[in-house]
Amino acid sequence: MKWRIASNFALRFIAGETIDDAIDTVLRLNNNGYYVTVDFLGEQTISETDAQNSTMEIVRLLERIQSSQIEANVSIKLSQIGLMLGEESCKQNLIKILNKANETNNFIRIDMEDSSVTDQTLKILVWARTIYDRVGIVIQSYLYRSEEDIEELMEKQIPIRMVKGAYKESHKISFKNKSDVDANFVRLSQNIISSIKSIHDVDRDEGKFPPVLAIGTHDEKIIKILVNLINNSGLPKKSLEIQMLYGIRNDLQSHFLKEGFPIRIYLPYGTHWYPYFMRRLAERPANLWFFVKNLFR
């Protein structure tokens, strides 16, 4: 019973459990003017079979995006496709995804997980781009190391999604104060904007291929600062993609869409929604309170 309440509440943040649920939701979002990045839920996979099954689902997802002619790319987590089993397992599965992305002319975003895998994730990203270069990464503004990571990524103009970071990290490697994380988010995004060498990519197929800088945040203050920066920089609005999670701050999504910025919704689907759902509850006490009230109703 409690599990059913949890899964019903989770539907606020996910499309449903199947590819069909995801495709239907993408269509609805596209019709309202939004681009989408679809995430097949799953992480920390510790069996070869599960890692392979997740890989095949992501391959099918890329096929369905192409056959449905929707405006969506795909976000993946390396721990879902075998990173916990070793880099070789992960690479073998990633090759299948990259080949399908190439065949279907799509873009893969590698989500960033906790700091125990940051080095491996960045190393595999660089390797992946030697096979297929339409691959981007996520950088977390709560980590001290991110400034240096961005310098290296910008040398190759690798598309970055800047986020604050969603995992519990030690104070030895990360900012603890929210105001420092926020300030670093703005500073690092400014660094990326000043390193943009060309906006060629955004002209190619905006619905699938993001520009060099995407910001993944619902923080209105930060978005406004960066929107103003772009508006005053002479760069076109499409050089800043604003990304938000499905079901969070719909008001902000439509506001910045009306202002002419590309908005991409991060849309998860699948049965392994629990860790994703718990991160969303932890980010906002009001969500947790609403959920607990419904449990006892």
Angle at 216 between CA 215 and CA 222, to 5 degrees: 65
DSSP secondary structure letters along 243-275 = EEETTS-HHHHHHHHHTT--EEEEEEESS--HH
Q: Which is nearer to ligand FDA, 132 or 266 (CB)?
A: 266
- The yes-or-no answer on residue 201 being catalytic is no
- Closest approach of ligand FDA to the CB of residue 244, in Å: 5
Residue 167 is a binding residue for ligand FDA (CB under 6 A): yes
- The yes-or-no answer on residue 64 being catalytic is no
Beta bridge partners of 80: none
Residue 287 is a binding residue for ligand FDA (CB under 6 A): yes
Give the Cα separation of 221 and 174 in Å (integer): 22
Residue 122 is a binding residue for ligand FDA (CB under 6 A): no
Site string for ligand FDA, 222-261 (x = CB under 6 A): ---------------------xxx--xx------------
Q: Which of residues 60-119 bind ligand FDA (CB under 6 A)?
A: 111-112
Instruction: Characterize 53-65 residue by residue with b for buried, 16 or more Cβ atoms within 10 angstroms of its Cβ, and e for exposed.
Output: ebbeebbebbebb
Closest to 240 in 3D by CA, of 249, 229, 248: 229
Instruction: From the candidates 64, 109, 111, 182, give the one annotated as an active-site residue.
Output: 111
Instruction: From the candidates 64, 109, 134, 161, give the one annotated as an active-site residue.
Output: 161
Angle at 254 between CA 251 and CA 259, to 5 degrees: 125
Residue 217 is a binding residue for ligand FDA (CB under 6 A): yes
List of residues contacting ligand FDA (CB under 6 A): 111-112, 138, 140, 163-167, 216-219, 243-245, 248-249, 266, 280, 283-284, 287
Task: Provide the annotated active-site residues.
Answer: 111, 161
